Chains A and B, each alone.
Chain A
């Protein structure tokens, strides 16, 4: 039987050598390379060894770069808008007061730092779970406005893995099923329903909806 599709995340951290360090899921491989190409090759080597085959499954690749004070941005490795997304998040987050930054720090990945992901609105919710382990939080961001290229406002939404420490970070986690979401729901619907739920039950502070609990 063919191995399931794999997800690998390469993080650029200039303070360490190797500068590109990766981790993967569901097969777990960790390591790094001094260039992105080297890290990609190292990962593939490790995966061949783990799976004991030269026939590699589909591999979904992401990169992470730091946006602001330990808050990281994840994008698809071939996302043509990756730099713009990084800049958008960095600009917005750097304007927040410290108490709002704490909101991000309360929802870290298993590595201990928060990661923001900007997904395509048409992508299914399953595409988010595929890049999370049970120990991760992942913070989704979406822009909304009048349709202009630059969104008027950013919305943030926390997805919590079932084993994530203190899931919800103080907010009350909500099961996806409770608000009518499935793994096939597009991210646009995820945000729409989360916002609707927030309006009904949440404390409408800034533009931050309550955390949702990932049940996958």
Chain B
């Protein structure tokens, strides 16, 4: 998954970054996190899953629907 595509999903649930910069900071349901991927970076499936579940706070089902 491209970095920009994942960031769009993040923004859908988290809104815009709470701090802009090279590593924009988002506020997930449970915690904040810094997202350091460029638009065209290829985020591994493992990393995307971890971000959506652990940082954004989606359920496994929600995460699966977003990336399918």
What 1/0 flags go to A140-176 for Cβ under 8 Å of B? 0000000000000000000000000100000000000
B33 touches A16 (CB 8 A): no
B36 touches A31 (CB 8 A): yes
CA distance A127 to B23 in the complex (A): 28
Residues of A75-123 at the interface with B, using a CB-CB cut-off of 8 Å, are 109-113
Inter-chain contacts of A111 with B (CB < 8 A): 44-47, 49-50
What 1/0 flags go to B1-44 for Cβ under 8 Å of A? 00000000000000000010111010000011111110001111
Closest to A50 in B: B34
Minimum CB–CB distance for A11 against chain B, Å: 7
Closest to B42 in A: A16
Answer whether A28 and B31 are a contact pair too, CB < 8 Å, given A21-B43, A135-B53. Answer: yes
Interface size class of A (residues with CB under 8 A): 20 to 34
Inter-chain contacts of B37 with A (CB < 8 A): 30-32
Inter-chain contacts of A29 with B (CB < 8 A): 23, 33-34, 36
Closest to B55 in A: A28
Interface size class of B (residues with CB under 8 A): 20 to 34
CA distance A32 to B35 in the complex (A): 10
Answer whether A30 and B55 are a contact pair too, CB < 8 Å, given A46-B36, A49-B22. Answer: yes
A13 in the interface, Cβ–Cβ < 8 Å?
A: yes
Inter-chain contacts of B21 with A (CB < 8 A): 49
Inter-chain contacts of B44 with A (CB < 8 A): 11, 13, 15-16, 21, 111
Interface centre among A15, A47, A110 (most CB of B within 10 A): A110
Inter-chain contacts of A188 with B (CB < 8 A): none
Closest to B35 in A: A30
What 1/0 flags go to A24-60 for Cβ under 8 Å of B? 0001111110000000001101110110000000000
Closest to B46 in A: A111
Answer whether A17 and B42 are a contact pair too, CB < 8 Å, given A23-B47, A30-B47, A30-B55. Answer: yes
26 interchain pairs, CB-CB under 8 A: A21-B44, A23-B50, A28-B33, A28-B34, A29-B23, A29-B34, A30-B37, A30-B50, A31-B34, A31-B37, A32-B41, A42-B23, A46-B23, A46-B34, A49-B19, A49-B23, A50-B23, A50-B25, A50-B34, A109-B50, A110-B49, A111-B46, A111-B50, A112-B46, A112-B49, A165-B60
List 5 other contacts, CB 8 Å, given A30-B37, A31-B37. Answer: A29-B33, A30-B55, A45-B23, A49-B25, A50-B34
Residues on B lying within 8 angstroms of A by beta carbon are 19, 21-23, 25, 31-37, 41-47, 49-51, 53-55, 60
- The 9 A-B pairs at the shortest CB distance, nearest first, are namely A31-B36, A111-B46, A28-B33, A46-B23, A29-B34, A16-B42, A46-B34, A111-B50, A110-B50
